[in-house]
Structure 1
Amino acid sequence: MYSLTIMISTARPEIPIRTRSWMFSPATHPEHFGKALEAGADVLIIDLEDAVALERKAQARTNVCALLDAPRDDALVPPVAVRINTPSSRSGIDDLIALLDARFEPAFILLPKIESPEQVAQVHSLLTGAGKSAHLVPLIESARGRSAVRAIAVACTRVAALMFGAADYASDVRAQPSSLALQFARCEVASACAEAGIAAIDSPCFALHDEAQLALDLDFATGNGFLAKAAIHPSHIAPINAAFTPSPARLDWAHRVVTASEQGAGTVDGQMVDEAIAREARRVIASS
């Protein structure tokens, strides 16, 4: 259930970075970008979509390009992701043009409100034509998107992960945040990602100062196949990182399971070790 690295299937390039926590920051406030580093976020998401009013989109794009073109020490600064506006909108097209024309590029481009694999494939084609290598993270935020989630997950080799958009999804299906409808959708997104060999990223917890709710969110995410979680507040980063990092006890269990598996049939802590258990143990070790 843990992963610090997006592990892509053999047909896709592996991304050798930790991706437990993805922190959103509005593109209109570049002075806040450093908070992701201070908080320990694994990925900084510069947001051109929901956090930016229409009249400020142009300045926001300028800020993104300035950040991408600035000197960076990749050993000290988290990888940058950019959430553009939906690619079916004028703002989304303008965002893509800005990224296609930029001298440098983000590690990831988040595509909101994706409802078909064709939307992803079109962005892939544009990036390929421009010689760009950025990975794509489609957001599943509607009933239509959920219905097409498996096709979206394998739309192209650039798809590194899917992110669940809880707020928009809840609005689209007329459900409450704590409803079974959202839990089922989350599980379907995680299952599609597992099938495709990509990472599932959970939606942010919107209860900014409710530690108990964040803990419940993380318990659900780690227990149902998610490998990472987004955040909109720096205080959520440390709990997210902790939740998706195997504990010393978990690592000890994993090493004992692998040893028992290599020696043939055996048991660890009273549980028979089969290939499924050994595979989980190897995942835990790989994520440490």
Structure 2
Amino acid sequence: MRLRSLLFVPGDSERKFAKASGVGADVLILDLEDSVAPSQKERARAQVAELLDDRAARDWAFFVRTNPFDTGLTLDDLAAVVKPGLDGLLIPKVDGAQDIVRIGHYLDALEAKAGMPVGTVKIAVVATETPAAMFALGSYAPAHPRLVGLTWGAEDLAAAIGATDNKEADGAWTRPYQQARSMCLYAAASAGVAPIDTLYADFRNPEGLEQSCREARRDGFTGRIAIHPDQVATINHCFSPSEAEVAMARRIVDAFAAAPDAGTLGIDGKMYDIPHLKAARRTLAAIGEAA
């Protein structure tokens, strides 16, 4: 499952779903939470369940963002959408790995009821939306068998801690949110799951999105949330290795394969060691190529 571009789609808008399904996102996240008004929750849930029944071939993974536990709506969401066709869930406002264990138990029962192999539905979480969550980021390792990715969010965290803003005048994150972003990256790496950067809100600023995505990939993120279909192509491009990177990765892997006892070797006058080999293998894995 590739988690490079993950596009939010309001669960109550069939029109937006129809547009989103053709833009090339790796994952569509049908949203039952923030983009759906309280009066439309039940309708959105039923509509998403109906969309899951469409067995037409698709080249993207079908995820659903449920409502968080404190709303009392989570179990109703799960009961409606855990059925064949569902690939994963995005769980918001988690406080730590104990919430993933809880969701996992629900999924075990619901998958069995739906006739699905246990473990079919994967889980990604928004890991920084509550103050308690910030103290539990280390709890995701070792990873739950269903866990595939961690992402972070700033808006709900800002509201929870009483911040008046989360951005500097130049648009950069203020220090608390820089810390949340970094800790999410470390937590994902520790758990061995995909680190997914948060959304870029200014969807009319493609240049800003591209710069932000390049910085995110530089730092170690492997994918990003999108909030508008127009953002998907930029995200896919920025989080895909270039031809030059792939070619260099192959050379590094081949060089170490030819010298299996070497810890360090030279290529074109530059020294490469085991961390470079690991990075090269990740680059090839990103394009589905076994090292």
Deviations along 1:78-137, one digit per CA (max 9) or x if unpaired, are: 11000000023222232122234xx42511111100013222211100111222520111
| Residues in 1 aligned to 2:218 and 2:22: alpha-carbon distance in whole angstroms | 28
The alignment partner of 2:63 has SS state of: strand
Q: TM-score, normalised by structure 1?
A: 0.87
The aligned counterpart of 2:193 is 198
Shift of 1:31: 2.0
The aligned counterpart of 2:125 is 138
Determine which of 64, 72, 76 is the counterpart of 1:82.
Answer: 64
Shift of 1:154: 4.2
| Residues in 2 aligned to 1:235 and 1:184: alpha-carbon distance in whole angstroms | 29
Deviations along 1:215-241, one digit per CA (max 9) or x if unpaired, are: 232123112221110101111101100
The aligned counterpart of 1:120 is 100
Shift of 1:34: 2.6
| Residues in 2 aligned to 1:251 and 1:21: alpha-carbon distance in whole angstroms | 20
Determine which of 166, 169, 177 is the counterpart of 1:176.
Answer: 166
The aligned counterpart of 2:226 is 231
Cα 1:150–1:105 change in 2 (3 A) is: farther
The letter for the 1-side match of 2:124 is: V
Q: TM-score, normalised by structure 2?
A: 0.86
| Residues in 1 aligned to 2:194 and 2:131: alpha-carbon distance in whole angstroms | 20
| Residues in 2 aligned to 1:111 and 1:49: alpha-carbon distance in whole angstroms | 10
The aligned counterpart of 1:283 is 282
| Residues in 2 aligned to 1:154 and 1:109: alpha-carbon distance in whole angstroms | 19
Question: In 1, are the aligned partners of 2:143 and 2:192 still within 8 Å (CA)?
Answer: no
Question: In 1, are the aligned partners of 2:140 and 2:191 still within 8 Å (CA)?
Answer: no
The alignment partner of 1:204 has SS state of: coil
Structure ID, larger Rg: 2
Shift of 1:269: 4.4
Question: In 1, are the aligned partners of 2:92 and 2:126 still within 8 Å (CA)?
Answer: yes
The aligned counterpart of 1:221 is 216
Determine which of 242, 247, 250 is the counterpart of 1:252.
Answer: 247
Shift of 1:32: 1.5
The aligned counterpart of 2:37 is 53
Deviations along 1:41-75, one digit per CA (max 9) or x if unpaired, are: 010100000000111000001001101111221xx
The alignment partner of 1:18 has SS state of: coil
Q: Which has the higher contact order (CA 8 A, sep 6+)?
A: 1
Identity over aligned pairs, percent: 32
- Aligned-CA RMSD value: 1.8
The aligned counterpart of 1:7 is none
| Residues in 2 aligned to 1:31 and 1:158: alpha-carbon distance in whole angstroms | 31
| Residues in 1 aligned to 2:242 and 2:18: alpha-carbon distance in whole angstroms | 28
Select between 20-29 and 203-212 the one with higher mean Cα deviation.
Answer: 203-212
Report 1:38-49 matches (<5 A): 38-49=22-33
Deviations along 1:150-192, one digit per CA (max 9) or x if unpaired, are: 2145462111111212322233342513213212211111111
Shift of 1:270: 3.7
Determine which of 58, 69, 90 is the counterpart of 2:53.
Answer: 69
Determine which of 149, 160, 167 is the counterpart of 2:155.
Answer: 167
Select between 265-274 and 45-54 the one with higher mean Cα deviation.
Answer: 265-274
